[in-house]
Amino acid sequence: MPSVVGLLEQHELAARRRVDGLREEADRIQAELAAAEEEWQEWVIARRRVDTVLAPDSAADAGPRAAAGPRDADRQPVSRDAARPKSQVPVWREGMASSVLSVDYQRILRAVADRVRLGQGPLTCQEMAAVFGMDLVPARVEALRSKAKRLVARGWLAEPTPGRFTLAPGVAGPGDGS
């Protein structure tokens, strides 16, 4: 007759394997989503460029400043990379500031950068949730994991071991000159 502890260990192992399998599937889907979002953004850019090329001759010849009204001329130019609510996470490139990210993503970068600065190694999503003062419930932790994975996919973070996040090579944390 098998022991109760042995049966519990078998069930625990099966549950852990299921969680690992689902996590792998979620990672695969996340990567697919990142690729699809990138392709979508490329099509959006292509359409905008075609719209610009096919714009009426008067606006195209005069340039974008001439088409703008006097009130528009007084406005500060808005950076194409400026963070917007519900914004996409841009792919990191040399010299890109973390200010292009939404506040939530900046917060994640700051927490990871603090860990790196203090020499404490990679950060898990549970530790992130604790740092942010969140309840350590699966929904909160998985939401952070999704955002961290998106930052990994876009080159802002690295995941040297599964579930542990650190700054990607070349990326400086908020306040570190980026």
Residue 28 is inside which H or E element, if any? helix 4-53
pLDDT digits (tens, 9 = 90+) for 83-127: 444 557 888 888 888 888 888 899 999 999 998 889 888 999 999
pLDDT for the residue 92:
87
pLDDT value of residue 84: 44
The verdict on 54 and 109 lying in the same domain is no
Vertex 152 angle, CA 91 and 114, to 5°: 105
Residues 121 and 157 in one domain: yes
For 119, the domain range is: 78-178
pLDDT of residue 49: 86
CB 116 within 8 A of CB 166: yes
Give, as one character, the DSSP assignment of residue 92: P
* Phi, psi torsion values for 69, nearest 5 degrees: -75, 175
Q: Which of 45-49, 134-138, 173-177 has the lowest mean pLDDT?
A: 173-177
- Range 35-44 average pLDDT: 87
How many other CB atoms sit within 10 Å of the CB of residue 6?
10
Q: Which of 77, 105, 126 is the last residue of a domain?
A: 77
Name, in order, each residue with C-beta under 8 angstroms of 177's C-beta and a sequence gap of 6 or more: none
Whole-angstrom Cα distance, residue 91 to residue 155? 6
Q: What is the CB neighbour count within 10 angstroms for residue 178?
A: 19
The tokens 């990191």 sit on which residue?
Answer: 92
- pLDDT for 52 equals 83
Residue 57 has pLDDT above 70, yes or no: no
Rounded mean pLDDT, 44-62: 71
Does the model's pTM come out above 0.75?
Answer: no
From CA 29, how far away is CA 21, in angstroms rounded?
A: 12
Q: How far apart are CA 172 and CA 98, in angstroms?
A: 8
Q: What is the identity of the amino acid at 156? A: W
DSSP state, residue 120: -
pLDDT digits (tens, 9 = 90+) for 12-23: 999 999 999 999
Among residues 54, 77, 100, the one where a domain terminates is 77
Domain end call among 77, 97, 123: 77
Tokens encoding 100: 């292009």
Domain count, the chain: 2
Domain of 145: which CATH number?
1.10.10.10
